[in-house]
């Protein structure tokens, strides 16, 4: 269940193939959709699938074609305004909350945009020999993979909040694996190396390989299952303020939270919305769609804690992972020596390094080859529409 | 420019024809749309076109087919939850603010729903002899006509807030007429009869024909033009608090309002978004898309006032009207003798009789045969996405 | 129980006496307060008693002393910023919501400010012969009387929302009269004269004596009692959406309203906070502290309605009144011929003529001589911290 | 400028003296206040001085007298509801946002409450031999010291947001020291011990003395001055999004921030509100009242960074400190081995360990003997009403 190796030391040929694979996957993810599903933004943090398809394309157009392909004509002069996500260096853009109101360009036009950009990217990829350009193409592909996972989770949010619970598709790999291994891995005290090393691709937030001193700890081989979490719920976990962080307790009460996202209690039985529709909760499957607040309260109830991201990385090779993004007890902050790149690309990660927690691992929705053991994912403590889970430490 | 007579004393044959005409018009309004345009709800008061098509159909299903057609099977058990607008007597429904997040049923299914209901309505309409049923069918048609106007204004809102200003369609009757007549009509002091009389259809809020004493007044033959309003703007109308109601002044400042809705100042020239796209403001055309607050401030600036709804109705036969819904200075309150009908139909109008102002007339977006001189339209004082205008009195 | 005549055709001597009486009453109202009670603003619509004392003084300073007393030096250059309420023509002022955060000037300084202004007003009042000035003094006194009632209701709000329910004072005239008269007054159809006539003082919103045609109606001699309202509550009045206006129903649910303001159900018995502390609800006393929404729902439940302000005024001489401000079913809008005065004084009433309902009568908290049968009080439909009650009509 | 040692290894006699000293200081801080100043809560995070005086007293009553003094009668049955801050284990309490609306008990009564509790505490302190009780008394004193600093900063907020800028008092130690030392301390790579050791008092969040590996770093001997920050402002620091965290940039724009808190530009000169009134900004004095966002942006502009809390502690003995709480780049999270105590005292620190940043040092407003080099203060990234400053690292 451990993710494959990531794209590394690619030849130009590899890169051309990789480009096609990644770009095709985005469209494949959308195949089961009706046109209507591409449009809405039910909450600000969920973007329309149409927007993801266009935005990941805009990324290639803006950072590569406009700078590196002589004579390139941008597809449409308003698309930068519509499909820039958060790059202040690139100019104004629509308010994030308005993405779901933009019905034009149509989906057909967005696919035409993708095709136009792909055709021009093919010219570039014929002869990549500029390492800066190679890096940008790789960044663009990894960026698109990030949006692939977001597309899946955003589609789940859109369909899963429809009272008629439409099926996305039957079958596939997006569903809930069961846990097979028991027990804890014991890790010894000492200095560990943390962060990316070597030539393979990584994001800037993984850089700055550095030393961390860890005290002895044990970390669970397995992720928490639905059954364990049902026990927490049955024991009154959502009602006992002593288990919760203060902000977590406010979150529970303000939002009347009493179960993971997508769970519904129908006549005494717990169901969950999955991409195959509404289904009974499988007690053996690994838990998903919980916030940091819930993960921390569960750990408190167990008399354990969440691992730090450093503990996680130190132990990673002895763990299975890849089913869920695993909340750690580390805040998302820069590594020693981190610096933001100049210009728009420098906005990619650094400016988000505050008030979020690090998640490690990968999930069933993560694109093949996208994650690695040094990968630092990050979300706010109340967010749970990703496939997030819990690994305990002590 | 005065609207045609409304549907009155219909035979069963007339009603069958009328049913088909009205129902077809709703679909005709949507013909120029892309599928994507049917989905969003950019602000709570704008509903998705898809929702309008389904809701007006649900009205016939719920109030007529389910009660009057023996053995009728409802099309889908969840549609009442999805497409009930505000009828508490009919049960729970999705929050109004979530209409734009519901991607399924698809548009295709909504059209199938319409067809299914129309086929069953045809059976009913073969032999309408129950006057209660006749009234309900008429109510259903007038209800659908109200949603036709809302569909047009909601479509305008959706497309008009897209930064690329898509065209709805070129040509047609939805555009801005010019004013041709000058001067004022003088009306004498005395007792006037107000409210609906006779057998023709009317809404319950028009009932209770009653006497009103009016002091002598003059009322303009013409509506205010863009040119007159541009003068108000040039004279600093949006900056002079003395012209505004206190809540109006707060509205101007909180929302940074400095022109009618859909107006854009591009390099010193005023443009407006029309359903034909972005166009230069025509000074001779009648003003549109202004709030009550703006209408009242303009009248104050002119040293005049808005007419009351009673003055308007007393003078109606001597006025041209039909281009704009005209803000009056009357609050939307019950006429003497008004009572709410029992059950869900009683929720149609009565429960909204507070904190809104009456508009009289009709607009270029009003369906043929829908309005009449006793018709009482009503909106909140800050709303301006309807085709609203100003007629002055003194 | 009908209020005394208002100040009318005053001689200069009368005016000097009246000035002293009114100004003293403001301070007498504050006598039972602790210093701490003068400070807070628990909700935006409740102002600190300290602010009322200063603002009513600022009114005399700004509109009279600064304009009419040669050589007058204002007491403190910042007080206009601190104690202007809503007069845009007079300049900037602190945000309304910040009144409770301003601890200085101290209460002692505010009393010194009052004394300073009173001393200078005494000079002016020695020799008032300018009718414009006479009018302004009268306006200032009526203005201060309005703030006297607000002080009482704001003090009640401040103390009544303290969990330890402090007593304001024992005894006095501020408490709940019982109803003594039964039955309805029948009024005939015809033309009635509405609005102020004669030389006595009135506010500008009462001017424009005009004719109104009324259909025959009956109006209750008595106000609704607590007992009648308890019956409404026992019959599920707060749970039956069919009784409520749509905005009223939202207000009930958003605010979890289930009784009048200041009522507390303690172990099955209804208590209310009065200015004498927490006391059992007296079933025979007239109901108080209800919103327009509640008044309208109650009337709907009774199968009756609220009178219009015109019906109320036409019948006023045959009614007892003075215990409660009585919600009418008339929106607060200008009378025919109303115009706003130029300058700041023109902001007094006219700019509030929207989205509020008229209340007629007077309450136990109204200052002696302040109200009259043409008096138009007005509040928003959700406000209920005034001594508001219900008179039914049919 | 380094703070004195903290209370440690106290004898019973020491403790009695310490109790009196600490309790007296709270009242001394309030001496310059007018009664009105004790009441308001201008924003939710600022509590009324009256509330601080009562809450710190309630702490002794609830955690010590009620449990350890046989026959103790609580002073008033409602005070727990009014003066509990956040201890869920102790029961319900008023909403935090309502503290400023509670005018009773009066200030006089609050002082009587203090006296009553002090008298009973004197009995307890005659013969403390229970180490659990000793710990609680010490905790109560340190708790009161924390509220002493909050009282000073809350008083500053209340007076400093009054448009007439009242003086708190002239003279004293609360003002802005100048920086005297230049240059950086260089620290070598290696393993450092972090956290409290020994018998002296510390909070639970300092416990768990543990090892941390630090890479070589340099840390400034001095805090950033107003002059340096004025340079940042002059260089357009508040306008350059590249310097800011994403949430910081939103904070700047949403709140229109363009200078530290309490700074006012009057005709081109920068003034700041100090507790001595409005004064010219002294360029040589150390900067104060800035948020984490501002600290991080300034460091980015300097091409440096903030130290981590571990770096800070490792270097502490070679730094002067005590003028400002210094923002670190460490999130407030538990040390290895941290556990929450059972019961209410366990709510003291642990439940706040999320979404806040650690500040180290002490400020001019910190009570004598209260801080130490292992002390972990923490605030949200947008908060700046404390005396917060910047120390740079690289």
Confidence of residue B5 (pLDDT cuts 50, 70, 90): very low
Pair of tokens at residue B346: 């009683």
Closest CA to D285 of D256, D258, D263: D263
Q: Two tokens at C7?
A: 């100040």
Q: In chain B, at which residue ranges do the beta strands (DSSP E only) sit?
A: 184-187, 190-194, 210-214, 217-220, 263-266, 269-274, 277-280, 325-331, 357-361, 377-379, 388-389
Structure tokens at C293: 């929404």
- pLDDT tens per residue, range A155-203: 999 999 999 999 999 988 787 889 878 899 999 999 999 999 988 899 9
Using pLDDT thresholds of 50, 70 and 90, give the confidence band for residue D171: confident
Any idea where the domains of chain D sit in the sequence?
A: 12-160, 184-389
Cβ neighbours of residue A24 closer than 8 Å, sequence gap 6 or more? none
Segment 313-332 of chain B within 8 Å of chain C by CB: 329-331
Q: Is the pLDDT of residue C184 over 80?
A: yes
Least confident of B201-205, B347-351, D183-187: B347-351
Percentage with pLDDT > 90 across chain D = 83
Q: What is the pTM of this model?
A: 0.95
Q: Which of B193, B252, B327, B351 to mutate to test the interface with C (most CBs of C within 10 A)?
A: B351
Nearest by CB to residue D34, choosing from C100, C106, C158, is C106
Q: At residue B185, does pLDDT exceed 60?
A: yes
Which of D50, D81, D164 lies nearest to residue C104, judging by beta carbons? D164
Asked if C375 and C362 touch (Cβ cutoff 8 Å), the reply is yes
* Residue among A240, A345, A354 with most chain D CBs within 10 A, to mutate: A354
CA of residue C16 relative to chain centroid, distance: 24
- Report chain A's mean pLDDT, rounded to a whole number: 94
Q: Report helix, strand and coil shares of chain B as percent, to nearest 5.
A: 40, 15, 45
- Per-residue pLDDT tens over the stretch B103-113: 999 999 999 99
Q: Quick one: pLDDT band at residue D10, thresholds 50, 70, 90?
A: low
Residue D325 has pLDDT above 90, yes or no: yes
- Using the predicted structure, report yes or no on whether residue B131 has a pLDDT greater than 90: no
Question: Mean per-residue pLDDT for A8-28?
Answer: 87
Summarised one tens digit per residue, pLDDT across range C67-105 is 999 999 999 999 999 999 888 888 888 888 899 999 999
Mean pLDDT (whole number) for C295-302? 98
Q: Residues near A146 by Cβ (< 8 Å), separated by ≥ 6? A: A370
What's CA B157's distance to the chain center, in Å?
14
Other CB atoms within a 10 A radius of the CB of residue C201 amount to 21
Number of H helices, E strands in chain B: 10, 11
Is the pLDDT at A2 greater than 60? The verdict is no
Q: Is some CB atom of chain B closer than 8 A to the CB atom of A162?
A: yes
Domain at B184-389, CATH class: alpha beta
Q: What is the pLDDT of residue B387?
A: 98
Average pLDDT over residues D70-91: 92
Preferred mutation among B35, B36, B54, B81 to probe A, highest tally of A CBs within 10 A: B36
Tell me the shortest Cα–Cα distance from D154 to chain C, in angstroms.
12
| Percent of chain C residues past pLDDT 70, beyond the cut | 97
- Is pLDDT at C142 greater than 90 in this prediction? yes
Distance (Å) from the alpha carbon of B51 to chain A's nearest alpha carbon: 13
A chain contacts of residue D292, beta-carbon cutoff 8 Å:
354
Interchain CB distance below 8 Å, D351 and A86: no
Helix (H, G, I), strand (E, B) or coil at B324: coil
Query: What's the rounded mean pLDDT across residues A27-46?
Result: 97
Query: How many residues are given for chain C?
Result: 394
Question: Quick check: helix, strand or coil at residue D332?
Answer: coil
The average pLDDT across A350-362 equals 97
pLDDT of residue A7: 45
pLDDT score of B234 more than 70:
yes
Cα–Cα distance measured from residue A187 to residue A189, given in angstroms and rounded to the nearest whole number: 7
- CA nearest D310: which of D350, D275, D272, D358? D358
D contact test, residue of C36, C84, C102 with most D CBs within 10 A? C36
DSSP states along A320-351: ---SSEEEEEEE--PPTT--PPSSGGGGSSGG
**What number is the average pLDDT over the span B44-67?**
97
Which phi and psi (to 5°) does residue B275 adopt? -70, -5
Does D304 contact chain A (CB < 8 Å)? no
Is there contact between C and A if contact means ≥3 C-beta pairs under 8 Å?
A: no
DSSP C205: G
* Residue range D45-64, pLDDT digits in tens: 999 999 999 999 999 999 99
Q: What is the DSSP letter of B223?
A: P
Taking alpha carbons only, the member of D391, D9, D339, D332 closest to residue D183 is D391
Please report, rounded to a whole number, the percentage of residues in chain A having pLDDT higher than 70.
97
The answer to whether A105 faces chain B, any CB pair under 8 Å, is yes
Contacts of B160 (CB under 8 A, 6+ apart): B262, B273
Residue D9 banded pLDDT, cuts 50, 70, 90: low
Distance CA C103, CA C40 (A): 9
The SS3 of residue A313 is helix
A10-14, B240-244, C317-321, D122-126: least confidently modelled range: A10-14
Q: Across residues B277-285, what is the average pLDDT?
A: 96
- For B212, name the nearest residue in chain C, comparing CA atoms only: C213
Q: pLDDT-derived band of residue A68, with 50, 70 and 90 as boundaries?
A: very high
Question: Which chains form contacts with chain A, at 3 or more CB pairs under 8 Å?
Answer: B, D
Is residue D268 scored above 50 in pLDDT? Answer: yes
| pLDDT above 50 (res C6) | no
Does residue D236 surpass a pLDDT of 50?
yes
**d(CA A178, nearest CA chain D) in Å:** 31
- The whole-number pLDDT of residue D132 equals 87
**Helix segments in chain D, DSSP class H:** 12-30, 49-60, 66-68, 79-83, 107-125, 131-160, 226-234, 246-254, 292-301, 309-315
Contacts of D58 (CB under 8 A, 6+ apart): D79, D80, D83, D84
The pLDDT of residue A9 is 55
Question: How far apart, in whole angstroms, are the C-alpha atoms of residue B146 and residue B148?
Answer: 5
Q: Taking the mean position of all CA atoms in its chain, how far away is CA A368? A: 13
**pLDDT above 60 (res C1):** no
- Check residue C89 and give its pLDDT: 87
pLDDT recorded at residue C276: 94
In our burial notation (b when 16+ CB lie closer than 10 A, e otherwise), range C155-179 reads bbbbbbbbebbbebeeeeebebbeb
Q: pLDDT-based confidence at B10, cuts 50/70/90? A: low
pLDDT number for residue B8: 47
Higher pLDDT, D378 or A12: D378
Q: Any alpha helices (H) in C265-378, and if so which ranges?
A: 292-302, 309-315
Annotate A213-273 with DSSP letters as a single string: EE--EEEESSPPBHHHHHHHHHTTGGG-GGGS-HHHHHHHHHTT--S-TTEEEETTEEEEE
Which of C139-148, C248-257, D163-172 has the lowest average pLDDT? D163-172
Question: In angstroms, what CA-CA distances link B185 with A271, B216, B219, B322, C206?
Answer: 69, 11, 5, 17, 28
Strand, helix or coil for residue A318: helix
pLDDT at D1: 40
Across the interface, whether the CB atoms of D355 and A351 are under 8 A apart is answered: no
- With touching defined as 3 or more inter-chain CB pairs under 8 Å, the answer for chains B and D is no
Looking up tokens 């026992």 gives: C234
Q: Please compute the mean of the pLDDT values over residues D217-246 and round it to a whole number.
A: 97
Neighbours of chain D (3+ CB pairs under 8 A): A, C
Q: What is the pLDDT of residue C94?
A: 85
pLDDT of residue D6: 45
Q: Find where tokens 């808005």 sit.
A: B306
The answer to whether residue B162 scores a pLDDT higher than 50 is yes
- C-chain CB neighbours of D103 within 8 Å are 34, 36-37, 39-40, 158-159, 162, 166
- Share the mean pLDDT of chain D: 94
CB contact under 8 A, A245 and D331: no
Lowest mean pLDDT among A290-294, B77-81, D114-118: B77-81
Least confident of A36-45, A131-140, C311-320: A131-140
Give D4's pLDDT tier (boundaries 50, 70, 90). very low
Q: Give the ipTM.
A: 0.95
Compute the distance between CA of residue A143 and CA of residue A22 in angstroms, rounded to an integer.
10
CB contact under 8 A, D100 and C40: yes
Residues pairing with A378 in the sheet? A358
């Amino acid at each position: 269940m451990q993710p494959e190796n990531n794209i590394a030391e690619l030849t130009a040929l590899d890169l051309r193939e990789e480009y096609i694979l990644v770009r095709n996957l985005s469209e494949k993810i959308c195949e089961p959709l009706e046109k209507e599903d591409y449009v809405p933004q039910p909450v600000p943090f969920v973007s329309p699938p149409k927007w993801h398809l266009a935005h990941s394309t805009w990324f290639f157009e803006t950072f590569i074609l406009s700078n590196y392909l002589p004579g390139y004509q941008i597809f449409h002069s308003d698309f930068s305004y519509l499909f820039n996500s958060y790059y202040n260096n690139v100019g104004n853009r629509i308010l994030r909350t308005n993405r779901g109101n933009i019905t034009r360009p149509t989906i057909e036009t967005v696919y035409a945009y993708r095709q136009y950009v792909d055709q021009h990217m093919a010219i570039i990829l014929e002869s990549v020999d500029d390492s800066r350009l190679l890096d940008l193409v790789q960044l663009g592909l990894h960026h698109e993979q990030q949006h692939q996972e977001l597309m899946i989770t955003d589609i789940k949010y859109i369909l899963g909040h429809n009272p008629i619970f439409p099926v996305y598709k039957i079958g596939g790999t997006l569903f809930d694996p069961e846990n097979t291994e028991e027990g804890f891995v014991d890790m010894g005290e000492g200095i560990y190396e943390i962060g990316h090393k070597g030539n393979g691709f990584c994001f800037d937030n993984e850089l700055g390989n550095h030393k961390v001193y860890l005290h002895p700890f044990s970390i669970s081989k397995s992720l928490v299952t639905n059954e364990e979490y049902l026990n927490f719920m049955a024991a009154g976990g959502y009602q006992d303020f002593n288990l919760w962080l203060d902000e977590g307790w406010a979150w529970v009460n303000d939002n009347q939270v009493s179960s993971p996202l997508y769970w519904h209690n129908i006549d005494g039985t717990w169901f969950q919305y999955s991409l195959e529709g509404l289904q009974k909760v499988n007690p053996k499957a690994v838990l998903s769609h919980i916030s940091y607040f819930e993960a921390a309260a569960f750990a408190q109830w167990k008399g354990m804690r969440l691992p730090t991201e450093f503990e996680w990385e130190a132990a990673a090779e002895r763990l299975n992972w890849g089913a869920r993004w695993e909340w750690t007890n580390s805040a998302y902050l820069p590594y020693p020596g981190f610096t933001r790149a100049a210009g728009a690309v420098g906005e990619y990660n650094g400016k988000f390094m505050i008030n979020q927690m690090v998640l490690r691992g990968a999930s069933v929705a993560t694109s093949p080859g996208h994650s690695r053991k040094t990968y630092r994912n990050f979300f706010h403590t109340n967010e749970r529409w990703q496939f997030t889970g819990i690994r305990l430490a002590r």
